[in-house]
A and B are shown apart, each in its own frame.
Chain A
């Protein structure tokens, strides 16, 4: 994943007690990748996480918003079970769903400042859309 400050980026948006995550990119894949970086940024600083451990992910879902929801929820699940925090994401989206290679490092509180767990992705503010030539993928996550 190549980071282009002009196009691909992520951000958080406010939602009461929880956090909104948004990925923005030139392609749908980039928006999903950046949405995943935004998820990691809720927990820790993604730029500091070494991409040492790789995990493969496959999701079958055709509706883009539900695919984004499933993508974020799957990452939350994988992080919780493997105790690995991901920082790099490579996504391929097809008509059937997505396949992804994600990389990260063991959750080690001595090495990383791990602020808060994410419990799940919600359907609140769940949107995937094209705006001014850029793809946006977003939802609120429960922390």
Chain B
């Protein structure tokens, strides 16, 4: 008996220590990125300034000059925001219909929508470039990026909303019907206030996915609609010359999303496993 209690006392100390050590190891690369962003380009590659150096903000103040950061950042904000809004505008009515008026085909439709998400993007790379460049003339426009981001996230949006809406008792919606409320009224006055939390977390998660998207946003833009992914990918190999300024611009590119992500880690599970893990 004594050994058991000793054992558990020991593990009461070791357990949290191990958890903390692993968490710090995982966070270390992000810490290092932020840390390096306060070094000058020259200091960043000198071993003697590895841990101790005079911190500077010049990498941040020169971000516009060095990388034209804000132009890319504004493009990211515009495309991610509008793609999220459009996906919700199309997704909320669809999920509403499927959750409260399911037909025999609802399950099949949902599965099919999910299967579109699994189409490898590279397989349709050329047709997309061909169509948008030669045919529709919308290559490298905000409109195109918004449209594509909206489409690739629409299945996840509908799935997440569907899993949230399913939790709302049908009777509440039906009571509204009895009172002669129109469908639009039902959505606007009953569903949206009730499912507000679910809709908000769907929006946050969609925004994160849009912001981090790195295939279509890079391949369907050149200058005008290029987002932060394009900016970073374009500066991929500085060969040690610009570690400081590259760290600063990278930090600025990920900070809003990492912080946003902290608030919706729970929703991430529902959103990425399509409700299959609870």
Partners in one complex: no
Interface, chain A (partner B; CB < 8 A): none
Interface, chain B (partner A; CB < 8 A): none
